[in-house]
């Protein structure tokens, strides 16, 4: 299996597991969006919390053509990069896209 396909499967499996975790309100649903052509993957929540409409992206990941996995957004306390590494994505292939480029060299993950 090519690295891109392997990484995509790992990400989708992980996001599906996150989707199964019960939301904070019974009126909130979790939606998994997968743009397989452009390799962008998101998990979002939407629904009603009392009188407030909620629509937020929780996770946004991308698999680039060089096989690097970019984590663009993590609106949780989960350590996504470490969880993906445990599942088989190497640190050198994970980029913390939400970190400024100058800061990435101080992380244990790829700069770009």
**How do the domains of the chain map onto residue ranges?**
3-104
Residue 1 has pLDDT above 90, yes or no: no
Predicted confidence at residue 25, as pLDDT, reads 83
- Give the count of alpha carbons within 13 A of 48, CB side only: 2
Residue from 27, 32, 35 nearest 57 by CA: 32
Mean pLDDT confidence for 78-85: 97
Structure tokens, 76: 């949780």
- Check: CATH 3.30.310.110 for 3-104? yes
The predicted-structure confidence for 37-66, as pLDDT tens digits, reads as follows 999 999 999 999 999 999 999 999 999 999
- When comparing pLDDT for 49 and 25, which is higher? 49
pTM of the model: 0.93
Mean pLDDT confidence for 8-26: 94
Residue 89 CB neighbours (<10 A)? 22
């Amino acid at each position: 299996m090519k690295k891109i396909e392997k990484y995509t499967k790992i990400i989708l499996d992980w996001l599906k597991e996150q989707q199964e975790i019960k939301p904070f309100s019974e009126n909130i649903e979790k939606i998994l969006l997968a743009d397989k052509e452009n390799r962008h993957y998101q998990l979002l929540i939407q629904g009603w919390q009392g009188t407030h409409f909620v629509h937020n992206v929780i996770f946004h990941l991308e698999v680039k053509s060089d096989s690097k996995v970019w984590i663009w957004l993590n609106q949780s306390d989960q350590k996504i990069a470490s969880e993906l590494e445990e599942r088989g994505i190497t640190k050198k292939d994970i980029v913390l896209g939400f970190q400024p480029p100058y800061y990435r060299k101080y992380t244990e993950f790829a700069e770009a």
